[in-house]
Amino acid sequence: MNNQIKTLEPKELWNYFAELNAIPRPSKKEHRAIEFAKNFGLSLGLETIVDEIGNVIIKKKATPGMEDRVPVIMQAHLDMVAQKNSDVDFDFDTQGIEMIIDGDWVKAKGTTLGADNGIGVSAIMAVFASDNIKHPDIEALFTMDEETGMTGAQELKEGLLNGKIMLNLDSEEDDEMTIGCAGGVDVLVEGKYKEKEMEGEIKSFEIFVSGLAGGHSGIDIHLYKGNANKIMNRILLRLSNKIGFGLKSVEGGSLRNAIPRESRSVISIKADKESKMFELIDSEKRNIISEYKTKEANLKIEVKEVEAEKKVFKGKKLKKTLDAIQAGWNGVFRMSPDVEGLTQTSTNMARIVIKEGKVNIDNLTRSSIESEKFELARTIKSAFKLVGYKVKFEGSYPGWQPDVTAAINTSMKEVYKKNFGSEPHITACHAGLECGLIKEKYPDVDMISFGPNIRNPHSPDERVQISSVQKFWKLLIDTLGTIPKR
């Protein structure tokens, strides 16, 4: 099926996308994609740089007649989010993505597709490989590890790039042009506990929350999708308040920038509490499914008996831990008072692992207001400090402040209107684009972000619209041909 992808238009873009998706490239393990990008530049005989962290920069001179135009940076990231359905046998470290054409959409077989940001990477390669696309001096900036830390943008050095306009190709609505984005910070909780022996006749049960839609923890956070970690904790807290139990383990969520889709726990109870446990879980299950029926039609909460576990986490500290997770913020904190419909500040309670004497809870807090980002981070910190757990802030990156006066905004609006008969939406987004970090190193560069329609990024339901890629490609090449003079 990947060969069939190569027949789509524009062929030059889809061919590079198929080649890129044949390469395993999960975040922090994208060394093969870095090599692919380096070899691409060298094969064209172009100046190609791989910096110390692994970013790839390729430079190409202007086409005849475009030498006096403002030089342009085209930017995208090489890594992809690695998410799959639990019933899919797939290894992101060794396998390439298996793609499917479904009408006007390309998607993957039970995994993330990598259209975020593989379409952007492929578009840049198609431009650089072409002999007939008009453009000024152009530079490709392929960054690494965007999805789990923006490491490439964080470590990018000054003085490597000459461009004065940057086209970031990492947006996901084809009628939008993004000129600002949220910053973020990881709020990481660490704690320890001692397992204790439960006395008497014990039964153990696995509780499994699954079937949630998941999605991008920034772009989709305002859709109020279910968070498997919060749903699981709600069930456990109900049981703790009514019958008590010992906790053997909880494992929920995976990546910090993906809304958790699944959570699994193992609990131990007194054998004579079994019927009451099922009664409580069934009651809570009915409430949860009813509350989420519009957004989460496939939500499942399943319980099955497993081998008895007597050595568990129990007592007051367990209860305080569950209370802290309940109190820890998840979802929208504040909508923007200035931009209608824009989430200003939010948190995703992304990953919870409680087992073998250790507690680890990872949250990603985002905001377009730096002070409010840390205000929410401190709110989360306070809940877990009350239990005595350590809380640290890591990987903070700035937002990208909009500049409505940038000439590229006007230029691209005119190109869009000429091609498609309407004006694009000029907006800011609640995602962590690399523009803010790059802007710190290159403050004189004007930036804008755009892309094709990509739905459900960061989840196995990710898909990209074929006709929208064609629209995106047209906008990109016409923009390059109409860059203003220096």
Task: Name the residues annotated as catalytic.
Answer: 79, 146
Angstrom distances, CA of residue 359 to CA of 141, 250, 454, 476:
38, 9, 35, 47
Q: What is the rounded CA–CA span in Å between residue 409 and residue 423?
A: 12
**DSSP helix/strand/coil, 29:** coil
Neighbouring C-beta atoms of residue 173, cutoff 10 Å: 19
**Preceding omega of 456 cis (within 30 degrees of 0):** no
Bridge partners (DSSP) of residue 73 are 139, 166
Ramachandran region of residue 419, left (φ > 0), alpha (ψ -120 to 50) or beta? Answer: alpha
Tell me phi and psi for residue 31, to 5 degrees: -60, -35
Q: What is the DSSP letter of 68?
A: T
Ramachandran region of residue 200, left (φ > 0), alpha (ψ -120 to 50) or beta? Answer: left
| Cα-only R_g, the chain | 24
Angstrom distances, CA of residue 3 to CA of 18, 21, 38, 101, 466:
7, 11, 23, 11, 15
Q: What is the rounded CA–CA span in Å between residue 181 and residue 152?
A: 18
Question: For residue 154, what are its two tokens?
Answer: 């964080």
Q: What is the rounded CA–CA span in Å between residue 317 and residue 180?
A: 43
Q: Is 238 exposed, middle or buried (0-12, 13-18, 19+ CB in 10 A)?
A: middle
Tell me phi and psi for residue 103, to 5 degrees: 65, -120
Bridge partners (DSSP) of residue 354 are 250, 359
Host H or E run for residue 179:
strand 176-181
Beta-strand runs (E) in 356-473: 358-367, 390-397, 425-429, 446-449, 454-455, 463-465
Q: Is 19 exposed, middle or buried (0-12, 13-18, 19+ CB in 10 A)?
A: middle
